[in-house]
Amino acid sequence: MMEKSRVIAAALIAAFTVTSVHAFTWPSMSRKGEIDSAAVEPTSPTTAAPVILRISVQDHLVLDKVETRQFFTTFIIKIYWKEPPAASSASGPTLHQESLGTLDKGKYRILLQSYCEGRLADSAQISFEVKEASTPGSGSTLDDVWVTPQVLTTASTATVHVTGHWPTAGYSRPIAMIQHSGRMITINLHWNRPKGAVAQVVTPYDYEAPVRLISAGTYTVRVFVHLDGQKVDAAEITFEVTPGSNGGWPWGFGNY
């Protein structure tokens, strides 16, 4: 009888223990729209390319809208998600990319909020630094400089040809300046860096400048490329001019 009582008591204790464990288990606090990962690309941003925010949420959701506000070096970004249609059989996670544009050098912060069906699901903070793009070396933006025609006299008008490329689209050249002093020809090409998101494709450019030849001898052409007011590349060539009928103008300046 005593042994039977012990068995019954043990069973009751076991049942109570199991009941107690289930009674104090907290329900899952997970919400749809919780941020699984958030980061910027490239991992080391520079002033040469747009910064892209990549965010992933744990569930399969549909993007509703994105609200972005910038206060100096702080971005406040709110991403709104919706439940997918009932017939959808897809599963998470859900990915989204948001361009922040091409940013100036400095340290930045993103205050990110994720909403699902109008309710705040999660938030995160991201800090990153944008560094000045390295100054292009010789030949990195200038590809070639040459003069036509091949045979030149002082009766000819030479044409200086310049070709080069930029790493993305969106670069603009507002003005080109030409100075012709004796047999020295200097061409300054001024460009502006693109603002905002642009296509990540190599963008070639070409430029032509007519030059009147005023005397026979060896001519030197120097080409300088300026980006946002700073010289980033240069090239120099020489060519020969034989005697002919003289005439011309000593220098030129203007938009081309």
Q: Taking a C-beta distance cutoff of 8 angstroms, is the pair 219, 180 a contact?
A: no
Boundary-marking domain end, from 105, 130, 155: 130
Return the closest-CA partner of residue 37 out of 108, 109, 92, 105: 92
47 and 104 both lie in a single domain? yes
153 and 183 both lie in a single domain? yes
108 and 151 both lie in a single domain? no
Domain assignment present for residue 149? The answer is yes
pTM for the structure as a whole:
0.46
Domain assignment present for residue 171? The answer is yes
Q: How far apart are alpha carbons 181 and 65 in whole angstroms? A: 59
113 and 154 both lie in a single domain? no
Domain assignment present for residue 7? The answer is no
86 and 159 both lie in a single domain? no
Tens digit of pLDDT at every position of the chain (256 positions): 545 555 554 554 444 444 334 444 444 456 788 999 999 988 888 887 789 999 999 888 989 999 999 999 999 999 999 988 876 666 768 889 999 988 888 999 999 999 999 899 999 999 999 987 754 433 358 889 999 998 888 888 889 999 999 888 888 877 888 888 888 899 999 988 888 778 888 889 999 999 888 888 999 999 999 888 888 888 899 999 998 754 443 333 333 3
Boundary-marking domain end, from 130, 157, 190: 130
Domain count, the chain: 2
158 and 236 both lie in a single domain? yes
Domain range for residue 104? 35-130
Residue 245 tokens, joined: 């009928």
Residue 223 tokens, joined: 């080409």
120 and 172 both lie in a single domain? no
Domain assignment present for residue 28? The answer is no
Conformation bin of residue 158: beta by default, left when phi > 0, alpha when psi is -120 to 50: beta
80 and 157 both lie in a single domain? no
Dihedral through CA 63, CA 69, CA 70, CA 74, nearest 10?
Answer: -70
Boundary-marking domain end, from 79, 98, 130: 130
125 and 149 both lie in a single domain? no
Residue 49 tokens, joined: 């390319």
92 and 146 both lie in a single domain? no
147 and 170 both lie in a single domain? yes
